[in-house]
Chains A and B, each alone.
Chain A
Amino acid sequence: MENEPIIKIRNLFKSYGKVRALEDVSFDVQKGAILGLLGPNGAGKTTIVNILTTLLKPDKGIAQVAGFNVAENPQAVRARIGLAGQFAAVDENLTGRENLELAGTLYHLPRAVVKERAQKLLEEFSLTEAAGRLAKTYSGGMRRRLDVASSLIGQPEILFLDEPTTGLDPQSRNELWLVIESLVKRGTTVLLTTQYLEEADRLADHIIIINEGKVVAQGTAKELKSNLGKSMLEVHVKDRHKIPAITALLAQFNPSVNETAEVVAVPITMGTQMLLEIIRQVESAGIELADIELRKPTLDEVFLNLTKKP
């Protein structure tokens, strides 16, 4: 039981009319992990979150959260999760504190516990000063923080964050990242969807890339980069007029040219041997180089590679 995943999805299917939102999605999330669900708009990320949070029933397949089947025992699942959806779901006509207390009441917590937890969350999310103000006066970042705080009042085992930083300025985004990181230190499992690779790279231990309703890759950020991206050798020439010459020289290695940056880039597909071969050829051709650089792939390149349309 110890290693039983806290979220378990097997062969999940979901269609909206003729549109297939999910096609045979399976994955696990281990307790205490941050899972990043990465994919472009319409990939099926929100559909997965909605199924796991009991808002939507799958057409086929099994989704288990904290040991409970979401379709058969939704109320037990709800008592163990928190959801901060795509919109900051705050009641604008309540104050920050009232929003938190309302959520706490609806988790059926005793009044004193609700008050105490609300106060603590307000402090942790730097909302103490704004606690008595109506949420409609909050900035986008504050609303988001209040939204995430509300989803935590039940002290959920698993927190679902659906594109939590969409539309936030870099500073608010950073603040939210810090909060999420501190949550995981306390043992909360987090499932986070995002379109931003940077976010997945920074936060998630494990990343699942989905595209058009299918899991196209998964692993740690490092694994994804090394398995799916290629290192690039970037050759910077001193004289830009030499670019065509060097391109012709390296034609067999499939080079790409960035004219403005005066760079010729070659994907390294065959390891060190290839690297030495290229340098030797350039040297013997007598082309002067400004710099030569071996660059690891970014998650962006991995992502674009995987999700590009054929």
Chain B
Amino acid sequence: MTETSSRVAAQGLRWTISDIWAMTWRGIIRYIRLPQLLVFSTIQPILFLLLFTYVFGGAIKTSQANYINFLVPGILVQIVIFGSVQTGVGLAEDLSRGLIDRLRSLPMARSAVLMGRTLADLMRNIFVMVLMMTVALIIGFRPGGNILAIIGAMALIALFGFAFSWVSAAIGLSTKNAETAQVAGFIWVFPLVFASSIFVPIETMPHWLEAFAKISPITVTVNSVRALMLGLPVGDNLWQSLVWIIGILIDFSMLAVWRYRKI
């Protein structure tokens, strides 16, 4: 009896993994078949990188003598945040096209639709991050941290983006329309991105904004990444960032799953 039930459970798990993989594959294919999505998510941050390095950079005073060293860790975080908006857009698109209804009528794992989408976006984020890192190194980014710390920083960014994908998923499942999901996704992301330590040191902001930026999950994550990449002390930033990430992941994955069930 227990043997059969454990066999059933093992098969259930195998099926769940195979479903998640099938859905992840489908999500990745989307980026390959719609290169404009990938171009949008790479060209835009590259332009930001060039713009801030060569145009605004000279006017921004940071702890780093070279603004690009200050900027790149921030830009990498910004990429995954903007990229995570696509999670909600993709889900809303599937929803409005009736694809989710079809999937919900299949004997597949319920979790696979959301997991597949968020994992595909995680892969996409990693790809864009590596690409950006390459461009950054070419135009003069010189991280002083050791290689393990840099890889750790990249992993932290990827995890951060994954958490934001769940926020985006919850939004996408609520809006049910790709255009609305796009707008609703960016509307709260934009102020959060700029009111953080991504582009400028927050000490230069007015006090009320600095107080907000200081506790922002983006700021603590960017500060951790910056410290790890440049070989500086991380201080309290790292654990604060991890607390934020875990909190966002738990809350918003629950919210997204709840929204998915309520469709």
Residues of A at the B interface (CB closer than 8 Å) are 50, 53-55, 75, 78-79, 81-94, 98, 102-103, 105-108, 134, 147, 150-151, 154, 160
Contact = CB atoms under 8 A, between A and B. Distances in A.
Interface string B97-125: 11101111111100010000000000000
B107 A55 contact: no
B23 to A, nearest CB: 8
A106 B98 contact: no
Contact of A78 (B15, B19, B105): B105
Contact of B102 (A75, A79, A85, A108): A85
A89 B29 contact: no
A147 B101 CA distance: 12
A89 B98 contact: yes
A167 B112 CA distance: 32
B97 A87 contact: yes
Given A75-B107, A108-B15, A94 B102 contact: no
Interface of B: 15, 18-19, 22, 26, 29-30, 33-34, 97-99, 101-108, 112, 263
A79 B105 contact: no
B107 A107 contact: yes
A78 B98 CA distance: 17
A18 to B, nearest CB: 18
Nearest to B112: A106
Given A87-B97, A88-B98, A106 B103 contact: yes
Q: Which has the most chain A C-beta neighbours within 10 Å: B19, B34, B102?
A: B102
A54 B104 contact: yes
Contacts of A103: 102, 106
Nearest to A150: B102
B102 A105 contact: no
Given A89-B99, A108-B108, 5 more contacts: A55-B104, A55-B105, A103-B102, A103-B106, A108-B107
Nearest to A50: B101
A251 to B, nearest CB: 54
A115 B134 CA distance: 40
Contacts of B18: 105, 108
B19 A106 contact: yes
12 contacts: A75-B107, A78-B105, A87-B97, A88-B98, A94-B33, A103-B102, A103-B106, A105-B19, A106-B106, A106-B108, A108-B107, A134-B33
